[in-house]
Amino acid sequence: MREEGLLRPDRSGMPGLGNPTMKLIELFEAPKREVVFPRGSQYEAYKQLSQILESANSSITIVDNYVDRTLLDMLQPCKENVAVRVLTNPVRADFKLALEKFKAQFKRTIEARVHSGDVHDRYVVVDDKDFYSIGASLNRAGDKLTSLVKYQEPDQIAKLREQIEGIWNRASSLSGADIAR
């Protein structure tokens, strides 16, 4: 760890007894690459997913066919300048209404679109660099056994980015979408 500058000596000159550098803190606080949420761990899943969303500096893309107002609760603490895109199908009436009220109150940039059924899995993309796959919808993660995986392979990230962008570009605006009850 010393070679990477993770530890620095304190006044006594003894390595490892001083304050940890920012790199060590970042490593400790960074979201994990793979997480398994056992059945009944809804709150742990909610906390982990919220932490991922709150880490965004510029953009978030969420692909989830079952979004509801829970998503907005998770987005509320995010930085105000973060642009959010949501891809879903179908649109739930409570989400559309809650989204309108959320945007009016918090003056956030959130665009929602409805895809034509092209997606089964759930994805979260943070700042167009951190790509996550989630085994359940964000609002139900941890109800049953759920996994969360951060993509590491550049070729797979590029492929997923291309697919999500294509689906986004073909998707229709939320305002013209059919509403599921």
Lowest mean pLDDT among 40-49, 103-112, 170-179: 170-179
d(CA 6, CA 180): 52
Q: What is the pLDDT of residue 107?
A: 86
Cβ-based neighbour number of residue 179 at 10 Å: 14
Q: What is the pLDDT of residue 19?
A: 54
d(CA 76, CA 87): 18
Lowest mean pLDDT among 55-59, 105-109, 169-173: 105-109
Strands 59-63, 83-88: pairing kind: parallel
Write the CA distances from 54 to 31, 59, 69, 119, integer angstroms.
11, 10, 17, 24
Domains present along the chain, CATH in parentheses: 1-30 (no CATH), 32-180 (3.30.870.10)
Q: How confident is the model at residue 174 (pLDDT cuts 50, 70, 90)?
A: confident
Helix or strand holding residue 168 (H, E): helix 154-170
DSSP at 154: H
**Each residue's pLDDT tens digit, 1-24:** 444 444 555 455 555 545 555 555
